[in-house]
Amino acid sequence: MANATVLPLPRHPVGGLLAQPLEGLGRMFYMVEPELTTYKTPEEVPFFFRQAWPYFLAFIVLENLVLWLEHKPLSRLNDSLTSISHGIFQECGRLVFRGAEHWMYIYIYENFRLAELPWDSAITWYLALVGVDFCYYWVHRASHEVHILWAQHQVHHSSEDYNLAVGLRQSLLQGWCGFVFYLPMALIVPPAHFLTHQQFNLLYQFWIHTETVQTLGPLEWVFNTPKHHRVHHGSNLYCLDKNYGGFLIIWDRLFGTFAEERPKEETVYGLVFNQPSFNPFYLQIFYNKNVINKVRAMNGWKNKVSAVVKGPSWLPGRPWTGAEEDKIDVSRKARTCTLGTRPYYSFFVRVLGTLTSTATPPWGRSETPWTRGGTNNVGFQNGQDGN
């Protein structure tokens, strides 16, 4: 690392009324400059995720405008409100947890790190980018192949639609289920770099939840794209347990979990056994009862433990993720009935109003919540029905 290039680090964004909003827009696509997004300490890392809420909402409006221009069905109001409500739940959870799950990463780095990488090096910045994405692949894969983790992650797959609002449909407990997978990075990667790239990685995953972008050509050999992620959200047999990547799709290609989209086969979104509900409270917790029921149905303590730690489709004597012949072949199905949204609308408007009124503008003063009552950044951990 002695020959690493040391970058000048301006502490403020590029000046200009236009440049600052464009920087926030660039963060949604991981289009950022290392020298402008490198920080020495966790306290300096801005809360990029909270600053992105105006972009989330603007992109959702833009997506529906494109659908309208293409004479395609718009996003269902009840389903979109449910998805955004899940995102609000996650934000509220961050206020409660106050970044506690990142405390262990910082502790390991400060006491057990194996190397001291220069914080102001471009090499350290790119190493963190690759490291965060590699670890995300495994936490995402585990969230499909470990039943108790899937019980939390299934929230993200509970929508029968596939649109940008679904990118905000997240589990309140997902961060606590997955943070341990990032801890090996603490032996090498400085906490500030980890916190920065974890946010960028998850922000990137928001825009790939759409059917309005068909293909990005050669870029899809390396990057995760809407085309690849549509497969991940499908409950068709060929879609199950595929395309776990966050920013990069190369991990799926390397570890045998990649699948190409089949344009001639309709992709059926949602869970294999979907819940006819738009109640976000219910959708957050209902699947845990399935885990408990499966444990109770098993004979012997080994099978009971396996019912918790092995895949959702596992049965005694079968492979970890279940046998293909035991999985249900999902064909086209009717979507959940359009239930009324009035019971949740008032709640949604009130909480969203609170969030947007207290959030820092995307080009305004940055928040640094990591060590002084802030929150974590576990955002768009996208999963697939381990079905």
HEC states along the chain? CCCCCECCCCCCCCCCCCHHHHHHHHHCCCCCCHHHCCCCCHHHCCCHHHHCHHHHHHHHHHHHHHHHHCCCCCCCHHHHHHHHHHHHHHHHHHHHHCCHHHHHHHHHHHHHCCCCCCCCEHHHHHHHHHHHHHHHHHHHHHHHHCHHHHHHHHHHHCCCCCCHHHHHCCCCCHHHHHHHHHHHHHHCCCHHHHHHHHHHHHHHCCCCCCCCCCCCHHHHHCECCHHHHHHHHECCHHHCCCCCCCCECHHHHHHCCCCCCCCCCCCCECCCCCCCCCCHHHHHHHHHHHHHHHHHHCCCHHHHHHHHHCCCCCCCCCCCCCCHHHCCCCCCCCCCCCCCCHHHHHHHHHHHHHHHHHCCCCCCCCCCCCCCCCCCCCCCCCCCCCC
Between 380 and 17, residue with greater pLDDT: 17
Q: What pLDDT shows up at residue 336?
A: 55
pLDDT of 363 over the 50 cut: no
Of 183-197, 273-287, 342-356, where does the model show the most confidence? 183-197
For 304-322, write each residue's pLDDT tens digit: 999 999 999 999 999 998 8
pLDDT of 162 over the 50 cut: yes
pLDDT of 297 over the 70 cut: yes
67-71, 159-163, 352-356, 382-386: range with lowest mean pLDDT: 382-386
pLDDT of 344 over the 90 cut: no
Q: What pLDDT shows up at residue 274?
A: 83
Q: What pLDDT shows up at residue 233?
A: 97
- Cα gap 56→212, rounded to integer Å: 16
For 42-67, write each residue's pLDDT tens digit: 999 998 988 999 999 999 999 999 99
Q: What pLDDT shows up at residue 339?
A: 46
Q: How many CB atoms lie within 10 A of CB 95?
A: 11
Overall average pLDDT of the 169-195 stretch: 91
pLDDT of 365 over the 60 cut: no
- Cα gap 234→28, rounded to integer Å: 24
Q: What pLDDT shows up at residue 69?
A: 97
How many residues are present in the chain?
387
Q: What pLDDT shows up at residue 102?
A: 85
Phi then psi for 121, rounded to 5 degrees? Answer: -100, 140
For 200-239, write each residue's pLDDT tens digit: 999 999 999 999 999 999 999 999 999 999 999 999 999 9
pLDDT of 3 over the 70 cut: no
Which pLDDT band holds residue 4 (cuts at 50, 70, 90)?
very low
pLDDT of 29 over the 90 cut: yes
For 83-113, write each residue's pLDDT tens digit: 999 988 887 777 666 567 788 999 999 999 9
Q: What pLDDT shows up at residue 328?
A: 84
- Cα gap 208→233, rounded to integer Å: 11
Q: What pLDDT shows up at residue 324?
A: 86
Q: Is the pTM of this model over 0.75?
A: yes
For 145-159, write each residue's pLDDT tens digit: 999 999 999 999 999
Residues 6+ apart with CB under 8 A from 117: 1, 123, 124, 127, 188, 189, 190
Instruction: Please report where in the chains the tokens 């979907």 appear, as a residue.
Output: 274
pLDDT of 377 over the 60 cut: no
Instruction: Please report where in the chains the tokens 């004597």 appear, as a residue.
Output: 317
C-alpha 291 chain-centroid distance? 23
54-58, 183-187, 353-357, 374-378: range with lowest mean pLDDT: 374-378
pLDDT of 382 over the 50 cut: no
Q: What pLDDT shows up at residue 375?
A: 30
pLDDT of 11 over the 50 cut: no
Q: What pLDDT shows up at residue 46?
A: 93
Structure tokens at 369: 């919540």
Between 14 and 227, residue with greater pLDDT: 227
Contact 351, 106 (CB under 8 A): no
Which pLDDT band holds residue 333 (cuts at 50, 70, 90)?
low
Q: Calculate the average pLDDT of the chain.
A: 84
